[in-house]
Amino acid sequence: MQFAPKFIAASAILTGAAASFAHVVLQPGPAVAGSAYDAAFKVGHACKDARSTTALAVRLPRGFVLQDVPARAGWKVDIDRSGASAGGTVRWTADSPAQALPGDQKGEFVLRGTLPATPGPLYFQALQTCDVGSADWAQLPTGAAGEKLPFPAARLNVVAPGSTLVDASGAWVRAAVPGQSGTGGFMKLAAGVPLRLVGVATPAAGVAEVHEMKMEGDTMKMRALPALDLPARQTVELKPGGYHLMLMDLKQPIAAGGSIPLTLTFEDAKGAKSTLLVQAPVMQAPAGGSGDAGGHAHQH
* pLDDT greater than 70 at residue 105: yes
* pLDDT greater than 50 at residue 15: no
Q: What are phi and psi of 12, to 5 degrees?
A: -95, -10
Is the CB of residue 78 less than 8 Å from the CB of residue 93?
Answer: yes
Average pLDDT across the chain, whole number? 87
3-class secondary structure per residue, 127-187: EEEECCCEEEECECCCCCCCCCCCCECEEEEEECCCCCCEEEEEEEEECCCCCCCEEEEEE
Nearest-angstrom CA–CA distance, 172 and 260: 9
Supply the pLDDT for residue 217. Answer: 76
Among 87-91, 183-187, 265-269, which stretch is predicted with the lowest mean pLDDT?
A: 87-91
- The mean pLDDT of 55-66, rounded to a whole number, is 96
Is the CB of residue 260 less than 8 Å from the CB of residue 211?
Answer: no
Supply the pLDDT for residue 82. Answer: 75
For residue 177, the tally of other CB atoms under 10 A from its CB is 10
- The mean pLDDT of 90-104, rounded to a whole number, is 96
Nearest-angstrom CA–CA distance, 198 and 9: 43
Nearest-angstrom CA–CA distance, 168 and 87: 29
DSSP run (H or E) holding 248: strand 243-250
Q: Residue 144: is it exposed, middle or buried by C-beta count within 10 angstroms (0-12/13-18/19+)? A: exposed
Alpha-carbon Rg for the chain, nearest whole angstrom, is 22
Supply the pLDDT for residue 290. Answer: 45
What does pTM read for this prediction?
Answer: 0.83
For residue range 245-299, what is the model confidence (pLDDT) as tens digits?
Answer: 999 999 998 999 999 999 999 999 999 999 999 999 999 987 655 444 433 333 3
Taken in order of first residue, the domains within the chain and their CATH numbers are: 10-159 (2.60.40.2230), 166-283 (2.60.40.1890)
Supply the pLDDT for residue 21. Answer: 43
